[in-house]
């Protein structure tokens, strides 16, 4: 690993001093990292959690920020606040640039290093453009607050500009959204944009009818929601079409530019494009100098330790873990959370009592996707749910899973209110397009 | 007025057609512009309100966004949503670049023009650095969501960096805030930062004690809160000092740079600086090519018409209106609101019934400032209030004045919750410093 010493000053960022407890360092405060830290709270280990942001983001609800239903602060909670009551847990806000495996140090850009006895890599995943990284500028994925703000601004600005536009073709383009990828994120985005146009903005304009907005969901495979049973996917397909979403299956997006997307042989002019077609792991494998799988994931053993190492672990979207049938576990919040909690407990047992590492076993809590108002699907393996009851269950589960109590209360009140009034909560145009695409992946300006 | 024709295409942005009603165009959807539009809602005039943002911002609570208590969406409401029920009111989102007085057109950058029969300029004010405009980069004022996000990020990042810092002097600088100007905004900011450090962040850090943060309020005059009676100012002064704020009166800020501020002869290193020392009107006077007063305000007559014109009016911070004693009315939300409502009614009477213009008279509803938890002041002229009851009244009044019902409900719940728990609501570090200082005044990325 080539690193410039000037970028990583020789400064220990943790209070060294008298603390002789073994030191576990977690990189990433997503679902996995946070669950891992919490499981070690109050035990005889020292824990430092490093993240580039000062907040944990509840990514499953990010599509609601992107579609102007919630504010970023509704689904983000300061990491320090979440972990405050555990005196043995430190938080470091910084951008990790690499790992010095030989000296057991995590290197923080422009700040220094954090020494570790055990390292947990929980850095998540990002969208994969399969070699067309220049598409990201026009069709952001949905992983960060900046992504969500960019999408929200582009949808709302599209309507604002269409209202003033006298050119019919351009007006149509300004009211067109293309969503690439028919997975849960694509379905959620398509449904939410359709509801925004059909309900929330319905009476806001004089020259255009937002209900005539065109929303196109493009899926390269034969059907949407591939990980779900066909019955549920069919229901979601029909629900989306009823909401006015055009679904194109077996269609590849061949190019994306500032004016729109080339879908198959047809160029569709669009002002909003969203990418949800594939993910790859963050560059943690490169930090270790080890070989990752095709999606950039780090192979780990049953105990979640990185193969070939003794003191490094990986969980969540960063890790390649296989189930009993040898299939990779999916990149879901519940997988990351269960792995984090398991690893935290296992590390405490090892470091406090010298226990042997315990094997991780995933327990499927059910898989869900939301299509729109009153329409969601649940797959519990044997049992399946769809429709209004599934939607209520979806809302309950997501409110419950939100980290902070205050957030839960506010989000549930906003949902209730919006559900009664058909309104949207956070309709600020809040993004300056020129701020994108500068600097590294860490440059997004959230909040 | 020199304008480049390419910047302003010859496109009428309002639906021309058959609508023969007289057309009133309002520039600016602040308190004044919005009140003016509302007063004309449902009458036999056509109204178009132009703003660079798609939302109305409740500026009196912006300091709470700057100090991480509220989210931008809590105090912003889409203009279209506010005015939706009035079919005679259009909204145009765009950046006004000038007024073509001869042809009665408002020119919108990169879009076209809006023709008017009557024009109302309600573009507000911005902070005045008295010739030191380069200070703005380091010490933003508090007028836009971008300002608030920059200040919030700098306060919170200061603590994050101080936590990792091993250099005592630098650590102290990272925890130092300098607020320039002892008016209501300066007092509110100083109090709110003090509360953030002393209560909300108290237990969040391991290496630093946020309560040791240094907050300096600098006032060039002999006392803070000059517009208030001395008794109330003394109370606010004592309350702030009790909260740990250092108040320097009769002290001028002589320079501001990236590292801190030169106050008198002493250079104070600081990571957060806020400018609240003076305002000037936005450049509406230049659009008209008329002479403004020293603060950039447009002189208007009793009927709020711009002197020397017959079809152009100005209200709020943009206008110079004199009270009965010949003193200029202050730049307060209540002045703008009353002028807007008066002008709207007067224009309807003139245009519908050919009535004569009515003279405006300001009714003082009382002047207020908030110092902190349980401490506010009210000046009703003869009666004065201070302390806990004033604080409760302040909170009631501000919740009531918030435009949307949903906002009212959410903000009051958040305040109640924070008051009980001593917590802060919206602690996201949300600002990328590099996004500042690019382009024109209209480039702020709020939300």
What would the pLDDT profile of A241-283 be if each residue is shown by its tens digit? 999 999 999 999 999 999 999 999 999 999 999 999 988 988 9
ipTM score of complex: 0.84
Cβ atoms of A382 and A388 closer than 8 Å: no
Structure tokens at A241: 């079409």
The answer on pLDDT for B285 being more than 50 is yes
Among B90, B406, B430, beta carbon nearest to A445 = B430
pLDDT at position B12 is 86
Cβ atoms of A177 and A269 closer than 8 Å: no
Residue (of A355, A358, A306, A295) closest to A328 by Cα position: A295
pLDDT above 70: percentage of residues in chain A:
89
B74 at the A interface (CB within 8 A)?
Answer: yes
B166 at the A interface (CB within 8 A)?
Answer: yes
pLDDT at position A170 is 94
Cβ atoms of B210 and B204 closer than 8 Å: yes
Architecture of domain A5-52+94-127+279-353: 3-Layer(bba) Sandwich (3.50)
Q: Counting beta carbons within 10 angstroms of the beta carbon of residue B413, is it exposed (0 to 12), middle (13 to 18) or buried (19 or more)?
A: middle
What would the pLDDT profile of A45-90 be if each residue is shown by its tens digit? 999 999 999 999 999 999 999 998 888 888 888 999 899 999 999 9
pLDDT at position B5 is 61
pLDDT at position B336 is 97
Among chain B residues, the shortest Cα distance to A84 is held by: B204
pLDDT at position A171 is 95
Better-scored residue on pLDDT, B55 or B202: B55
CB atoms within 10 A of CB B18: 5
What would the pLDDT profile of A121-157 be if each residue is shown by its tens digit? 999 999 999 999 999 999 999 999 999 999 999 999 9
The CATH class, in words, for A133-277+366-430 is: alpha beta
Residues 6+ apart with CB under 8 A from B195: B67, B243, B372, B373
CB atoms within 10 A of CB A267: 14
pLDDT at position B292 is 93
B295 at the A interface (CB within 8 A)?
Answer: no
**Which part of chain A has CATH 3.50.50.60?**
5-52+94-127+279-353
Residue A384 host element (H or E): strand A384-387
**Which part of chain A has CATH 3.50.50.100?**
133-277+366-430
Q: Which residues of A touch B74 (CB under 8 A)?
A: 71
The answer on pLDDT for B343 being more than 90 is yes
- Weakest mean pLDDT among A166-170, A248-252, B222-226: A166-170
The answer on pLDDT for B437 being more than 50 is no
Interfacial B residues in 374-413 facing A (CB < 8 Å): 406, 409-410, 413
Cβ atoms of B181 and B275 closer than 8 Å: yes
pLDDT at position B426 is 64
Q: Which residues of A touch B150 (CB under 8 A)?
A: none
pLDDT at position A173 is 97
A86 at the B interface (CB within 8 A)?
Answer: no
pLDDT at position B419 is 67
Confidence of residue A445 (pLDDT cuts 50, 70, 90): very low
Confidence of residue A109 (pLDDT cuts 50, 70, 90): very high
Confidence of residue A189 (pLDDT cuts 50, 70, 90): very high
pLDDT at position A386 is 94
The alpha carbon of residue A5 is apart from the nearest alpha carbon of chain B, in Å, by: 18
- Listed in order, strand segments (DSSP E) in A250-318 are 253-257, 260-263, 266-269, 272-275, 279-281, 298-299, 312-314
Among B78, B153, B429, beta carbon nearest to A427 = B78
A227 at the B interface (CB within 8 A)?
Answer: no
- Weakest mean pLDDT among A33-42, A204-213, A223-232, B8-17: B8-17
pLDDT at position A206 is 87
- Are B72 and A417 inside 8 Å of each other by CB? no
Confidence of residue B442 (pLDDT cuts 50, 70, 90): very low
Confidence of residue B441 (pLDDT cuts 50, 70, 90): very low
Residue B133 annotated to the active site: no
The answer on pLDDT for B405 being more than 90 is no
CB atoms within 10 A of CB B357: 16
Q: What angle, 0 to 180 degrees and rounded to 10, lies between the N-to-C axes of helices B333-353 and B31-40?
A: 30
A438 at the B interface (CB within 8 A)?
Answer: yes
What would the pLDDT profile of A217-245 be if each residue is shown by its tens digit? 999 999 999 999 999 999 999 999 999 99
Q: Name A179's bridge partners.
A: A217, A274
Buried residues in B134-154 as b, exposed as e (16+ CB within 10 A): ebbebbbbbbbbbbbbbbbbb
B23 at the A interface (CB within 8 A)?
Answer: no
Calpha distance B12→B100 (Å, rounded) = 13
- The average confidence (pLDDT) of chain B is 89
Q: Which residues of B touch A174 (CB under 8 A)?
A: none
Considering the candidates A95, A110, A188, A231, report the single residue annotated as catalytic.
A188
Give chain A's largest Cα–Cα span: 74
- Are A413 and B413 inside 8 Å of each other by CB? yes
pLDDT at position B445 is 31
The answer on pLDDT for B1 being more than 90 is no
Buried residues in A369-385 as b, exposed as e (16+ CB within 10 A): bbbbbebbbbbeeeebb
Structure tokens at A348: 């405490």
Confidence of residue B443 (pLDDT cuts 50, 70, 90): very low
What would the pLDDT profile of A351-380 be if each residue is shown by its tens digit? 999 999 999 999 998 999 999 888 999 999
C-alpha Rg value of chain B to the nearest Å: 22
- The average confidence (pLDDT) of chain A is 89
pLDDT at position A418 is 66
Q: Is domain B133-277+373-436 given the CATH code 3.50.50.100 in the classification? A: yes
Structure tokens at B191: 């109090």
Calpha distance A47→A37 (Å, rounded) = 7
Among A84, A414, A428, beta carbon nearest to B55 = A428
pLDDT at position B278 is 85
pLDDT at position B70 is 84
Q: Which residues of B touch A74 (CB under 8 A)?
A: 71
pLDDT at position B433 is 44
Confidence of residue B421 (pLDDT cuts 50, 70, 90): low
Q: How many CB pairs under 8 A join A and B?
A: 159
- Are A444 and B432 inside 8 Å of each other by CB? yes
Among chain A residues, the shortest Cα distance to B55 is held by: A428
The alpha carbon of residue B252 is apart from the nearest alpha carbon of chain A, in Å, by: 34
Residues 6+ apart with CB under 8 A from B286: B1
- Weakest mean pLDDT among A15-29, A389-403, A410-424, B137-151: A410-424
The answer on pLDDT for B383 being more than 60 is yes
Question: Order of strands across the sheet with B23-27?
Answer: B89-93, B46-51, B23-27, B118-121, B312-314
Among chain B residues, the shortest Cα distance to A76 is held by: B428
Considering the candidates B188, B195, B219, B444, report the single residue annotated as catalytic.
B188
pLDDT at position A3 is 58
Q: Looking at residues B389-409, what average pLDDT do you find?
A: 80
Q: Which residues of A touch B441 (CB under 8 A)?
A: none
């Amino acid at each position: 690993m080539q690193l410039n010493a000037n970028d990583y000053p020789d400064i220990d960022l943790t209070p060294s001093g008298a603390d002789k407890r073994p030191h576990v360092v977690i990189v990433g405060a997503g679902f996995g990292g946070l669950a891992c830290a919490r499981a070690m709270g109050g035990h005889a280990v020292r824990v430092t959690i490093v993240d580039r942001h000062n907040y944990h983001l509840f990514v499953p609800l990010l599509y609601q920020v992107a579609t102007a239903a919630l504010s970023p602060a509704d689904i983000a909670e300061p990491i320090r606040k979440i972990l405050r009551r555990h005196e043995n847990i430190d938080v470091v806000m910084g951008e990790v640039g690499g790992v010095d495996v030989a000296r057991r140090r995590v290197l923080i850009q422009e700040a220094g290093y954090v020494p570790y006895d055990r390292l947990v890599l929980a850095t998540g995943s990002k969208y994969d453009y399969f070699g067309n990284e220049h598409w990201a500028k026009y069709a952001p994925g949905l992983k960060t607050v900046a992504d969500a703000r960019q999408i929200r601004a582009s949808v709302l600005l599209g309507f604002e500009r269409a209202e003033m536009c006298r050119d019919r073709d351009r007006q149509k383009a300004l009211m067109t959204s293309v969503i690439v990828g028919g997975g849960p994120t694509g379905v959620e985005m398509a449904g939410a944009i359709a509801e925004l146009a059909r309900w929330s903005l319905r009476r806001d304009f004089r020259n255009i009818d937002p209900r005539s907005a065109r929303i196109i969901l493009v899926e390269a495979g034969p059907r949407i929601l591939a990980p779900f049973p066909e019955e549920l996917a069919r229901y979601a397909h029909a629900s989306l079409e009823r909401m006015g979403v055009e679904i194109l299956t077996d269609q590849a997006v061949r190019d994306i530019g500032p004016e729109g997307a080339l879908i198959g042989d047809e160029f569709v002019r669009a002002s909003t494009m969203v990418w949800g077609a594939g993910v790859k792991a963050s560059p943690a494998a490169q930090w270790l100098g080890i070989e990752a799988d095709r999606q950039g994931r780090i192979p780990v053993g049953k105990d979640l330790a990185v193969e070939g190492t003794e003191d490094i672990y990986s969980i969540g979207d960063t890790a390649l873990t296989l189930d009993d049938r040898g299939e990779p576990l999916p990149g879901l919040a519940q997988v990351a959370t269960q792995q984090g909690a398991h690893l935290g407990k296992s590390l405490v047992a090892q470091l406090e009592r010298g226990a042997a590492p315990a094997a991780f076993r995933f327990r499927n809590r059910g898989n869900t996707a939301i299509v729109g108002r009153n329409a969601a699907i649940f797959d519990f393996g044997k049992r399946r749910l769809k429709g209004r009851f599934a939607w209520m269950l979806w809302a309950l589960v997501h409110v419950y899973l939100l980290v902070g109590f205050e957030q839960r209360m506010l989000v549930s009140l906003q949902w209730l209110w919006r559900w009664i009034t058909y309104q949207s909560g956070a309709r600020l145009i809040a993004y300056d397009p020129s701020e994108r695409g500068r600097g590294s992946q860490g440059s997004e300006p959230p909040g």
